[in-house]
Structure 1
C-alpha cells in the first residue's frame, strides 16, 4: 500500500491555526481569573471590569475575583501562590507592590520575586489641595507660598490623611522632607473623613486622589496648589507640578497587571498584547477619563522596572514617615 505524505496538505491548515488569537479559555476550558485585591465598586475594580470586557474576544472570559483585606496583601498573595499557567492574573498596585513591603512587618509574599509583570494599566494623579478659605486667609496661591509660610510659621500648619501609612500620609511626609518644613500630620480613619476635615477647615491641606478632589476643586471649596506627577495633568492643565518647585518630586497612584512568577514568557507576551490593545482603544480612554485616570500601557519589562523603582522610592518614604503595621 502506498503511503501518502500528508505534511504538504496539513501545512496551510497549521499555519492558519497559528495565526488565530490565543485564547486561554479555549486551551483549557477554564476562564481567566483576574484577582482584584480590593472591594468591588472602587476605581481599581471598575477599571479591571472595563478591561475584562474588552479582552474577552481575544482571551476568552475573564472573571473578576475581589479579594480585599490587609491593605491588598490577601489578594496579591493569592496571585503569588497560584499556578503559573496564565489562568490567574491579578492587580498590582502602589500599595501591594511598592508600599506594603516596607509598611508591614510581616509580608506573605515577596513583591520583587513572586510575580511576573504583564503591563501597567494606568495612573491617577494626586493633588495637593488646601481649604479654599484657609488659602485665601493665609494668602497662599502657589506651592512656593505654602513652603514660605510653613518655614516662617513652623508647626502651625497641619495636614490630613486617611491613616498612618496611607498614600496621603506618605506624600505629606515626602513633601515635608523635600521642602524642609514641619507640619502636623493628623490621621483619620479613611480618605472620606480626611476630606471632610479639610472641607470644614479642621485641617489646612492634604494630598488627595484627583478623582476624589476634583468635584470640590470645581466647586471652589478646595484650592488646587500642585499636582504630584512630574508633568502637568491633562485633567488640571492650569495646575503646576510639585516638581516645578521641589525638583524630582513625583508620587501618584498606579496599578497594573501581574501573573505568578514562572509564567512562561510566551503567555505573558500574549496577555500583554491583549491588554495593551484594550488600553489603547479610544473607548477605553474615554471611560478611564471619566475616572480621571490616564492609561499607561507598557511592556512587561518596563512595568517590572517601574515597580522596582517605586519600591526603592517608598523604602525611604515609609522609613522617614515612621509608619509601621504589625
Structure 2
C-alpha cells in the first residue's frame, strides 16, 4: 500500500425549497431524481465545470502549512481545468471563520475549503459551533499529513527535549507557548504535552502560524508546536531551534530530531490537510475535483515540493477520504475527552 494513502491512514485510529440552483442542489432530491430530466440538466451543467474562477479558502494567515500545501495544487488545477483557482485567506477563530463562510456558500463547486486538523478537532472541542462539519461539508480529497515540531527561542537555555522538560518543571507557569489558534493541532499538541509531562505553562493563541512563530523567534514567547511546512524556513535560517517531532517516527526532512514519544510514551500528533466543499455540491463536481487533486499529488514536481516541506501526500478516492475524515474526527474526539479541554475553558 502506498505510503500516505488514505486507505492506510484509516486504520489509525432548506429553508427555501423552490427550485433555485442553490436550494435544489442542497436538497435530498439530487440522489432520488438522478434519472430525471432536471438531474440530467444539472449533470450537464456540472460537466461544464468550471466555467468561471474558483475560490480556494485558506482558514489561516499566509505562509502557514495550509497555504503552502494549497499553492501548488491551485496552480496545477488552474492549468488543468482552464479557470483560476484563487487562494483567499480568511483567518480567525482557529479556522472557523473560513469554515462557516464556505458552508454558507452556494454548493456549486466555486467555493472550496482547504481543511486542516482544526476542522476535525472542532467537532468535539467547540460544542457551540453554529455548524457541523460532518453534516455541512462534503470531504473531497486529501492533501497531506505533516509532523509538528517542538520549537524554542534560541535564547532559551535548553538544547534537547529532556532539558526542555526539566526547565519547564523547574519554572512552572513561566514558559509561554504559542498556537495558531484555539482548537488547532498546535493547541492540542501543547495541551497533550503539558498533560503527559506534568508541567505548567501559559498557552498564547494567535491567528495563524506565521505571527506566532515570529513572536517565538523575537523572544516575546518561549516555545511553539507547529507544522514543519510553517516552521522549516525559520529553522533552517537559524531563527528557531527545533528540538523534537510530534510523530512516532522521525521526519525525513529533519532526521536528526528525536520523537517526543521517546520520553513521553504515546505522544503522537500530526497535521491533517484536505479539501472540502459545501454539502449538496453535485457528485460529478466532487469526483472531478478528487481526480484532479489526486493527479496533482502524483505529479513529481508537487511530490518533491511536499517532501521539501516534510509533508506526506494523502491520496485516495472520495469514499476513502470521507472515511479518513470521519476517522480523524473520532481520533481527536478521544484526545479532547482525555484532556478535558474545550473552547469554554
TM-score range, shorter chain: 0.7 to 0.9
> Alignment partner for residue 117 of structure 2, among 78, 82, 94?
94
Whole-angstrom distance in 2 between the partners of 1:291 and 1:59:
26
SS of equivalent to 2:267: coil
Whole-angstrom distance in 1 between the partners of 2:334 and 2:62: 32
SS of residue paired to 2:133: coil
C-alpha separation in 1, matches of 2:175 and 2:61: 33
Q: Structure 1's 37 and 219: CA in aligned 2 closer, same or farther, altered over 3 A?
A: closer
Q: 1:223 to 1:79 in 2, by over 3 A?
A: closer
Cα drift, residue 103 of structure 1: 4.1
Cα deviation, residue 30, structure 1: 2.3
Alignment match, 1:10: none
So what's the TM-score if we normalise by structure 1? 0.73
In the alignment, structure 1 residue 183 sits paired with structure 2 residue 200: yes
Aligned counterpart in structure 2 of residue 302 of structure 1, from 320, 326, 331: 320
Q: Within 2, Cα distance between the matches of 1:252 and 1:145? A: 23
Q: How far is 1:237 from its partner?
A: 1.0
Deviations 1:231-273 (A, max 9, x none): 2212101112223433442222232111233445554333212
Q: Distance in 1 between matches of 2:214 and 2:98?
A: 30
Shift of the 84–241 alpha-carbon distance from structure 1 to 2, 3 Å rule, reads: same
Whether the 8 Å contact between 1:47 and 1:288 is mirrored in structure 2 is yes
Judging changes above 3 Å, is the alpha-carbon distance between structure 1 residues 24 and 297 closer, same or farther for their aligned structure 2 residues?
farther
Query: Residue in 1 aligned with 2:48?
Result: 27
Q: Among residues 131, 141, 152, which one is paired with 1:119 in the alignment?
A: 141
Tell me whether 1:108 sits opposite 2:130 in the alignment.
yes
State the alpha-carbon separation in 2 of the partners of residues 261 and 53 from structure 1.
25
* Alignment map for 1:15-164 (pairs within 5 Å): 27=48, 30-31=51-52, 33-38=54-59, 41-43=62-64, 44-56=66-78, 58-64=80-86, 66=88, 68-71=90-93, 72-95=95-118, 97-136=119-158, 140-141=159-160, 143-147=161-165, 150=168, 153=170, 155=172, 158-162=175-179, 164=182
Q: Which has the larger radius of gyration?
A: 1
| CA distance 1:55–1:65, change in 2 (3 Å) | closer
Pick from 186, 193, 200 the counterpart of residue 168 of structure 1: 186
Alpha-carbon deviation of 1:33? 2.3
SS in 1 for 2:135: coil
Q: Is the 8 A contact 1:24 1:60 kept in 2?
A: no
Q: Deviations over 1:95-116 (max 9, x none)?
A: 2x22333444532321112222
**What does residue 40 of structure 2 align with?**
none
Contact 1:94–1:254 (Cα < 8 Å) also in 2: yes
Q: Measure, in 1, the Cα distance between the counterparts of 2:200 and 2:162.
A: 15
TM-score between the two structures when normalised by the length of structure 2:
0.70
Moved more, 166-175 or 202-211: 202-211
Report how far residue 118 of structure 1 moved.
1.6
Which whole-Å CA distance do the structure 1 matches of 2:182 and 2:277 have between them?
29
Aligned residues between the structures? 298
More displaced stretch, 112-121 vs 311-320: 311-320
SS at match of 1:175: helix
Distance 2:44 2:146 in 1: 31
Query: Structure 1 residues 26 and 194 mapped into 2: Cα distance closer, same or farther (>3 Å)?
Result: closer
Q: Distance in 2 between matches of 1:113 and 1:63?
A: 25
Does the Cα contact within 8 Å between 1:123 and 1:252 map onto a contact in 2?
yes
1:112-139 CA deviation, whole Å, 9 max, x = no partner? 1222222111233210123444344xxx
Evaluate the alpha carbon distance shift between residue 243 and residue 57 of structure 1 in structure 2; reply closer, same or farther with a 3 A threshold. same
Give the Cα–Cα distance (whole angstroms) in 2 for the partners of residues 292 and 42 of structure 1: 15
Matched residue SS, 2:143: strand
SS of 1:253's equivalent in the other structure is: strand
